[in-house]
Amino acid sequence: MKTKILQVHPEMFQNEELREACSILQSDGLVAFPTETVYGLGANALHREAATKIYEAKGRPSDNPLIIHIANRESIYELASEVPAKAEALADAFWPGPLTMILPKAERVPASTTGGLDTVAIRMPSHPVALELIRQSGVYVAAPSANVSGRPSPTRADHVIEDLSGRIDMIIDGGEVGIGLESTIVDLTTEIPLVLRPGYITMDMLRDVVGEIMLDPAVDSRERKPDIVAKAPGMKYRHYAPKGQLIIIEGEIQRVISCIHGLVQEKQQNGYRVAVIATEETKGAYPADIVYSIGSRKSEGSIAAGLYDILREMDHLGAEYIFAESFEDDSLGQAIMNRMLKAAGYHLLKA
Ligand code: AMP
Ligand code: MG
């Protein structure tokens, strides 16, 4: 299959530019498109055959359900059989935006979209291209991240091209995304809302709107806990991973730097290709030819936005060992560390 690439300006595009993309979605094809979090791979969520194509193109396990994207808040009542007051309040506060809600599913949502679960994941994205694509096509768009399963999520169209060119009908190139980490997922089918995946909408932001919330114990961890099953099926898979072994080093920053120096030397002496993931503040402390800055410690947003690109860069370099500094586990840092720990297979050392 030849994949069409459509270039659009992320804000100043004409609605007509999306006409072909809409007709692909209407005829059960696959279109990758930018959202404010990462690029999504979209198909008609209510057509079993269309949703099935997503799993094939990504090589995604069929028990890993898809998030349905909507452009109009009222659509939630078409897709969920029950919408509790807390869900309404969260939609008021954060939609359109990077928040996905889990609700009991309506009859019309096929099991192929929900991985056989009787709940459904719904989000209304804020990216103008995503919103217009959904609105104009009139399709409820099931869209996981537009990467091959297991690889880092795409934050630019060339990441999508690298993974899915030849396997999908169209890629809409709307430039670099703003946030760079997947949406926060919150389950509203329990009395106390449960965060299944941390993201840009932090625990504190959710608490301000609905009061008490909890974090899925399988996610609230610096170690792999094989005996606890994550409630979001996707969180149990190795994910976001570069091909080399990523190792995160935590502790007081000067100790981290000297610990990484020792590890780099040891691996280089054994003939391995090594890279270091540091920050703007610390990059000068490592040998220039192997250090990569992920962003500034003064802005967690810059680190979130740079993470997946740098993990892909590690593959382009052919890095066999990658040593990364760690980050604070608070607010957005919680989402950053969650993705980094998964990418590292929970390989964490204390300096
Ligand atoms: P992705 O779109 O690649 O970010 O993956 C979607 C995430 O949402 C995966 O981790 C899924 O397991 C999770 N998800 C989707 N639907 C549900 C659901 N009904 N219940 C729990 N988790 C879900
Ligand atoms: Mg994904």
Q: 212: how many CB neighbours lie within 10 A of its CB?
A: 9
Whole-angstrom distance, CA of residue 96 vs CA of residue 255? 42
State in Å: Cα 310 to ligand 1 middle.
24
Residue 25's φ and ψ, nearest 5 degrees, are -65, -40
pLDDT band at 240 (very low <50, low <70, confident <90, very high): confident
Ligand 1 atom showing the smallest separation from residue 67 Cα: 15
Alpha helices of 138-194 — where are they, by DSSP H? 157-164
Ligand 1 atom showing the smallest separation from residue 185 Cα: 8
Report CA 27 to chain centroid distance, whole Å.
Answer: 26
Share of residues in the chain with pLDDT > 70 (%): 99
pLDDT band at 118 (very low <50, low <70, confident <90, very high): very high
pLDDT band at 95 (very low <50, low <70, confident <90, very high): very high
Whole-angstrom distance, CA of residue 6 vs CA of residue 38? 17
State in Å: Cα 42 to ligand 1 middle.
14
pLDDT band at 288 (very low <50, low <70, confident <90, very high): confident
Does residue 216's CB lie within 6 angstroms of at least one atom of ligand 1? no
> DSSP class of residue 2?
P
Share of residues in the chain with pLDDT > 90 (%): 89
Does residue 154's CB lie within 6 angstroms of at least one atom of ligand 1? no
Helix (H, G, I), strand (E, B) or coil at 221: coil
- 236 pLDDT above the threshold of 80: no
Q: 165: how many CB neighbours lie within 10 A of its CB?
A: 15
Q: What is the average per-residue pLDDT within 35-50?
A: 97
pLDDT score recorded for residue 239: 74
What helix, strand, coil percent values describe the chain, rounded to 5? 35, 20, 45
User: Which of 300, 92, 336 is CA-nearest to residue 199?
Assistant: 336
- 227 pLDDT above the threshold of 80: no
Q: What is the average per-residue pLDDT within 13-30?
A: 98
Mean pLDDT score of the chain, rounded to an integer?
95
Reading the block at residue 233, the tokens are 């099926």
Return the H-helix or E-strand segment holding 303.
Answer: helix 300-317
Angle at 234 between CA 229 and CA 238, to 5 degrees: 85
* CA distances, 71 to each of 52, 166, 200, 201, 307 (Å): 22, 28, 20, 19, 28
Ligand 1 atom showing the smallest separation from residue 145 Cα: 3
Does residue 235's CB lie within 6 angstroms of at least one atom of ligand 1? yes
Q: What is the average per-residue pLDDT within 327-345?
A: 92
Ligand 1 atom showing the smallest separation from residue 38 Cα: 4
- Location of structure tokens 């947003």: 301
State in Å: Cα 270 to ligand 2 middle.
35
Does residue 182's CB lie within 6 angstroms of at least one atom of ligand 1? yes
- 232 pLDDT above the threshold of 90: no
Q: What is the average per-residue pLDDT within 55-78?
A: 95
Give pLDDT tens digits for 131-186: 999 999 999 999 999 999 989 999 999 999 999 999 999 999 999 999 999 999 99
Give pLDDT tens digits for 143-153: 999 999 989 99
Give pLDDT tens digits for 107-117: 999 999 999 99
Nearest ligand, CA 183? 1
Sheet with 348-350, edge to edge strand ranges:
291-293, 274-278, 321-325, 245-250, 348-350
Interstrand relation of 274-278 and 321-325 (parallel, antiparallel or unpaired): parallel
- 237 pLDDT above the threshold of 70: no
State in Å: Cα 225 to ligand 2 middle.
21
Whose Cα sits closest to atom 10 in ligand 1? 234
Does residue 102's CB lie within 6 angstroms of at least one atom of ligand 1? yes
Whose Cα sits closest to atom 9 in ligand 1? 234
Reading the block at residue 63, the tokens are 């028990």
pLDDT band at 330 (very low <50, low <70, confident <90, very high): confident
pLDDT score recorded for residue 230: 83
Return the H-helix or E-strand segment holding 209.
Answer: helix 203-210
Nearest ligand, CA 216? 1
- 221 pLDDT above the threshold of 80: no
